[in-house]
Chain A
Amino acid sequence: MTLRFLSGGLTGGRLVMLALLLASAILVPLLNLALPESHPLHVPTYAVTLMGKYLTYALLALALDLVWGYCGILSLGHAAFFALGGYAMGMYLMRQIGSRGVYGDPVLPDFMVFLNWDELPWYWYGFDAFSFAMLVALVAPAILAFVFGWFAFRSRVTGVYLSIITQAMTYALLLAFFRNDMGFGGNNGLTDFKDILGFDIQSDATRAGLFAASALALAAGLVLAVAITASKLGKVLIAVRDAESRTRFLGYRVEHYKLFVWTVSAMMAGLAGALYVPQVGIINPGEFAPANSIEAVIWVAVGGRGTLVGPIIGAVLVNFAKSWFTAALPEFWLFALGGLFVFVTLFLPTGIVGLARTATQRLRRMRKSEPDARNTGGSVTTEPRGQAAE
Chain B
Amino acid sequence: MLTRTRRRSSALGALAVFLVLAVATVTFAGTAAAQSDDAALRTQLNALAAGDFDDTQRQINAIAEAGDPRAAPALEALADGDLYFRRADNAVFITRKDGSDYALRDPLTLEDAGTAGRREVKKIRVNNRLRRVIRTALGTLTLRAPDPAARIEAADAIFKAQDVDSIEPLEAALAAETNTDVARHMREARAAAVLASDLPTPDKLEAIATVAARGDRDARSLLTGISNGPDTALHEAANAAIAKVERVQGLWDTARNIWFGLSLGSVLLLAAIGLAITFGVMGVINMAHGEMVMLGAYTTFVVQSLFRTAAPEYFDYSLIVALPAAFLVAGLVGIAIERGIIRFLHDRPLETLLATWGVSLILQQTVRTIFGPTNREVGNPSFMSGAMEIGQLTITYNRLWIVVFALVVFTALLVAMKATRFGLYVRAVTQNRRMSASMGIRTPLVDALTFGLGSGIAGIAGVALSQIDNVSPNLGQSYIIDSFMVVVFGGVGNLWGTLLGAFTLGIANKFLEPVAGAVLAKILVLVFIILFIQKRPRGLFALKGRAVDA
B-binding residues in A (CB < 8 A) = 74, 76, 148, 151-152, 154-161, 163-165, 167-169, 171-172, 175-176, 178-179, 290, 294, 297-298, 301, 331, 334-335, 337-342, 344-346, 349, 386-390
Taking CB as reference atom, which chain B residue is nearest A294? B357
* Contact between B488 and A164, CB atoms less than 8 A apart: yes
**How near does chain A come to B352, taking the closest CB pair, in angstroms?**
8
In the assembled complex, the Cα of A172 lies from the Cα of B283 at a distance in Å of 25
* Contact between B350 and A387, CB atoms less than 8 A apart: yes
Q: Which 8 residue pairs spanning A and B have beta carbons closest together? A: A341-B358, A338-B361, A338-B362, A334-B365, A172-B526, A388-B347, A338-B358, A345-B355
- A76 / chain B contacts, CB cutoff of 8 Å: 353
Q: Is B527 on the interface with A (CB-CB < 8 A)? A: yes
Q: Is B255 on the interface with A (CB-CB < 8 A)? A: no
Binary CB contact string for chain B from 183 to 204 against chain A (1 if under 8 A, 0 otherwise): 0000000000000000000000
In the assembled complex, the Cα of A155 lies from the Cα of B537 at a distance in Å of 7
* Contact between A169 and B355, CB atoms less than 8 A apart: no
In the assembled complex, the Cα of A387 lies from the Cα of B358 at a distance in Å of 19
In the assembled complex, the Cα of A338 lies from the Cα of B368 at a distance in Å of 14
Query: Besides A157-B534, A179-B520, A345-B352, 17 other CB < 8 A contacts?
Result: A74-B353, A151-B531, A154-B534, A164-B488, A165-B529, A165-B533, A168-B526, A169-B526, A172-B530, A176-B519, A334-B364, A335-B365, A341-B361, A349-B348, A386-B348, A387-B347, A388-B348
Query: In the complex, which of the residues B283, B284, B358, B527 contacts A342, with contact meaning CB atoms closer than 8 Å?
Result: B358
Q: Is B484 on the interface with A (CB-CB < 8 A)? A: yes
In the assembled complex, the Cα of A178 lies from the Cα of B285 at a distance in Å of 28
Q: Is B522 on the interface with A (CB-CB < 8 A)? A: yes
In the assembled complex, the Cα of A168 lies from the Cα of B525 at a distance in Å of 10
Binary CB contact string for chain B from 508 to 540 against chain A (1 if under 8 A, 0 otherwise): 000000000001101100110111011101100
Query: What would be 16 A-B contacts, judged by CB atoms less than 8 Å apart?
Result: A76-B353, A155-B533, A156-B537, A158-B550, A163-B350, A163-B353, A172-B522, A172-B530, A294-B357, A335-B361, A335-B366, A341-B358, A341-B359, A342-B362, A345-B351, A346-B344
In the assembled complex, the Cα of A179 lies from the Cα of B351 at a distance in Å of 34
* Contact between A349 and B526, CB atoms less than 8 A apart: no
**How near does chain A come to B193, taking the closest CB pair, in angstroms?**
43
Q: Is B404 on the interface with A (CB-CB < 8 A)? A: no
Given known contacts A334-B361, A334-B362, A168 and B481 CB-to-CB distance under 8 angstroms: yes
- A156 / chain B contacts, CB cutoff of 8 Å: 537
- B347 / chain A contacts, CB cutoff of 8 Å: 386-388
Q: Which of B283, B354, B355 has the most CB of A within 10 A?
A: B354
* Contact between A345 and B531, CB atoms less than 8 A apart: no
- A178 / chain B contacts, CB cutoff of 8 Å: 519
Taking CB as reference atom, which chain B residue is nearest A152? B534
Query: In the complex, which of the residues B284, B366, B519, B520 contacts A160, with contact meaning CB atoms closer than 8 Å?
Result: B284
- B284 / chain A contacts, CB cutoff of 8 Å: 160
* Contact between B529 and A168, CB atoms less than 8 A apart: yes
- A165 / chain B contacts, CB cutoff of 8 Å: 488, 529-530, 533
In the assembled complex, the Cα of A169 lies from the Cα of B365 at a distance in Å of 26
Given known contacts A159-B350, A341-B355, A346 and B341 CB-to-CB distance under 8 angstroms: yes
Q: Which B residues, 267 to 290, have Cβ-Cβ distances below 8 Å to chain A?
A: 279, 283-285, 287
Q: Is B349 on the interface with A (CB-CB < 8 A)? A: yes
* Contact between B534 and A290, CB atoms less than 8 A apart: no
Q: Which of B287, B345, B347, B357 has the most CB of A within 10 A?
A: B357
* Contact between B350 and A171, CB atoms less than 8 A apart: no
* Contact between A160 and B350, CB atoms less than 8 A apart: yes
* Contact between A160 and B345, CB atoms less than 8 A apart: no
In the assembled complex, the Cα of A389 lies from the Cα of B484 at a distance in Å of 24
In the assembled complex, the Cα of A105 lies from the Cα of B359 at a distance in Å of 49
* Contact between B537 and A157, CB atoms less than 8 A apart: yes
Q: Is B485 on the interface with A (CB-CB < 8 A)? A: yes
- A341 / chain B contacts, CB cutoff of 8 Å: 354-355, 357-359, 361
In the assembled complex, the Cα of A340 lies from the Cα of B357 at a distance in Å of 10
Taking CB as reference atom, which chain B residue is nearest A244? B550
* Contact between A155 and B535, CB atoms less than 8 A apart: yes
In the assembled complex, the Cα of A297 lies from the Cα of B353 at a distance in Å of 11
Q: Which of A172, A176, A294 has the most CB of B within 10 A?
A: A172
- A342 / chain B contacts, CB cutoff of 8 Å: 341, 355, 358-359, 362
* Contact between B530 and A169, CB atoms less than 8 A apart: yes
In the assembled complex, the Cα of A344 lies from the Cα of B347 at a distance in Å of 16
In the assembled complex, the Cα of A276 lies from the Cα of B528 at a distance in Å of 32
- B369 / chain A contacts, CB cutoff of 8 Å: 331
Q: Is B227 on the interface with A (CB-CB < 8 A)? A: no
**How near does chain A come to B502, taking the closest CB pair, in angstroms?**
16
- B351 / chain A contacts, CB cutoff of 8 Å: 301, 345, 349, 386-387
Query: In the complex, which of the residues A74, A167, A176, A340 contacts B484, with contact meaning CB atoms closer than 8 Å?
Result: A167
In the assembled complex, the Cα of A76 lies from the Cα of B360 at a distance in Å of 16
- B352 / chain A contacts, CB cutoff of 8 Å: 345
Taking CB as reference atom, which chain A residue is nearest B337? A342
In the assembled complex, the Cα of A330 lies from the Cα of B349 at a distance in Å of 31
* Contact between B534 and A338, CB atoms less than 8 A apart: no
- A151 / chain B contacts, CB cutoff of 8 Å: 530-531, 534
* Contact between A338 and B359, CB atoms less than 8 A apart: yes
* Contact between B523 and A338, CB atoms less than 8 A apart: no
- B368 / chain A contacts, CB cutoff of 8 Å: 331
Given known contacts A151-B531, A331-B365, A389-B550, A161 and B349 CB-to-CB distance under 8 angstroms: no
* Contact between A157 and B349, CB atoms less than 8 A apart: no
In the assembled complex, the Cα of A271 lies from the Cα of B362 at a distance in Å of 32
* Contact between A387 and B348, CB atoms less than 8 A apart: yes
Binary CB contact string for chain B from 487 to 516 against chain A (1 if under 8 A, 0 otherwise): 010000000000000000000000000000
Taking CB as reference atom, which chain A residue is nearest B348? A386
- B365 / chain A contacts, CB cutoff of 8 Å: 331, 334-335, 338
**How near does chain B come to A79, taking the closest CB pair, in angstroms?**
14
Given known contacts A168-B526, A171-B481, A334-B362, A74 and B350 CB-to-CB distance under 8 angstroms: yes
* Contact between B484 and A390, CB atoms less than 8 A apart: no
In the assembled complex, the Cα of A175 lies from the Cα of B285 at a distance in Å of 23
* Contact between A161 and B533, CB atoms less than 8 A apart: yes
* Contact between A160 and B361, CB atoms less than 8 A apart: no
* Contact between A172 and B523, CB atoms less than 8 A apart: yes
In the assembled complex, the Cα of A168 lies from the Cα of B488 at a distance in Å of 11
**How near does chain A come to B355, taking the closest CB pair, in angstroms?**
4
- B485 / chain A contacts, CB cutoff of 8 Å: 164, 168
Binary CB contact string for chain B from 227 to 246 against chain A (1 if under 8 A, 0 otherwise): 00000000000000000000
Query: In the complex, which of the residues B354, B360, B519, B529 contacts A345, with contact meaning CB atoms closer than 8 Å?
Result: B354
